[in-house]
Structure 1
């Protein structure tokens, strides 16, 4: 809830920017709750400023939100396992009438995109900020550089590197040889999880793999192949009762409980034969709201 007053001209100026600032923070952090906290902190800092000295309000506030978001991302990176509310978007699913693999269903994400979110989670904090601010919100590289404490050219290079990773994910549809290879990597992971084959899991997980599981209590984020392999029981259960799906072009899996109710939706990002990111939705409330294909 906002602490601003609609009769205060300073507050009115901020409120005019709030939706855009929330969108920036949401895409930076992948979390509605964290985005709200960042925007509220930006308001507190703005309210303490001499607003007459701020010549570009939108730019000033974007810089503040960017810096706060960067601090949050770096703090997450420093903690190998933590819980974040609302880190994954809700999904809408539809059965594919046709497509690259007839046995696969297509699972489509919301406007942020589960597939994009999985890729963003695999980016470093500086890459993520540069890509989100420039490619999604058209913030100039010089301004991004001031947030990062780098030059505009260095910020441009960060965004370019992030863009290549995002585009590589967008091209990773489940068709052709590369698509089959990605599916095979995911199938190898699921088989190893089902068999409790720890070494097999490590062979297909990137050392820096990031796992994000959306639960009723928030999103649990785990970093690193050893930690992810150690906690692969959820994947084992899903593999035993799952069906291959496409999630925005990424290989994935939807699974059900024995009574036919949905258990989970998973999406995998595979690069160079290794899984670099996994996103899983297990929150029953969210799963119930999805138009998921049935277990039959």
Structure 2
């Protein structure tokens, strides 16, 4: 579709028709819904300043603009001095898992699973953009090359390099089964059932705990079970974190103390992310705590 024959009102209407696609694209690239909304809004502002007759293919033009805005945002994240590379934590989609609404399901459908998000964060911005645009949205390499300022052959190599890194990312099992596995883990942790913990943890499970002092990593079922075998007096509520089952814990005063999310493959947890840093927790939009009992 060209923009040549479109007036301002018609152009805005066409943009609204493209908004959902552009938002999905930006969300997949950036891993944060709020950042994705900012990227799409910037594309609209640029379109409003553009002469309609200068646009031959409006859909491709918008994809290019959103792609370039996303690339700039990814580069800014990495270049910001003194800013840790886990700013994506603030953009996690967390909804209560006791009664998700249709709106929650729509948001989570576009979310990037935590295991994949962690891998994407290790990619260079141009690798990440090339991989997502081509492998998820089937954007031609020639167009992606124009977005990132590389040749088509170089763009293919960037996507291939990213694909190799992503290939080992565990794929979440059926959500209902994953819920049951995580529920069993929580029960075993609360009761101090070490054997029960080992039954639901993959032998090579990885736990990444984001604390105020940095990221602490534990690998292996024994190490993770030992850390979890402490029980808790905090109030908990099942949640979905970017579509993966987890738990939020609050203290007696209603302050959030921990957010946990798990990637489940088969009948075992293969990857866990735990956020314990109070400053990080304050940045995340969490559901309300359950009533005190």
Settle same-fold status: TM greater than 0.5.
Answer: yes
Matches within 5 A, 1:165-184: 165-170=165-170, 179-182=202-205
| Residue 263 of structure 1: aligned partner | 257
- Residues 166-175 or 47-56, more deviating: 166-175
Structure 1 position 120, deviation (Å): 2.3
| Residue 146 of structure 1: aligned partner | 146
Structure 1 position 15, deviation (Å): 2.0
**Is the Cα contact below 8 Å between 1:121 and 1:277 reproduced in 2?**
no
| Residue 268 of structure 2: aligned partner | none
Pairs aligned (count): 232
RMSD: 4.9
Query: Structure 1: 5+ residue runs without aligned partners?
Result: 1-5, 95-108, 206-234, 270-275
Matches within 5 A, 1:1-296: 8-79=9-80, 80-81=82-83, 87-91=91-95, 93=97, 110-111=108-109, 112-115=111-114, 116-170=116-170, 179-182=202-205, 186=207, 255-257=249-251, 263-267=257-261, 280=275, 282-283=281-282, 286-288=285-287
- Residues 124-133 or 43-52, more deviating: 43-52
TM-score, scaled relative to structure 1: 0.58
**Is the Cα contact below 8 Å between 1:241 and 1:255 reproduced in 2?**
no
**Is the Cα contact below 8 Å between 2:23 and 2:37 reproduced in 1?**
yes
Q: Which runs of 4+ in 1 moved over 6 A?
A: 172-176, 201-205, 238-243, 245-253
**Is the Cα contact below 8 Å between 1:67 and 1:147 reproduced in 2?**
yes
Structure 1 position 89, deviation (Å): 1.5
| Residue 188 of structure 2: aligned partner | none
**Is the Cα contact below 8 Å between 1:255 and 1:263 reproduced in 2?**
yes
Query: Structure 2: 5+ residue runs without aligned partners?
Result: 1-6, 99-106, 174-180, 182-197, 220-226, 264-270
> Partners of 2:243 and 2:11 in 1: how far apart?
45
Structure 1 position 73, deviation (Å): 0.7
**Is the Cα contact below 8 Å between 1:252 and 1:265 reproduced in 2?**
yes
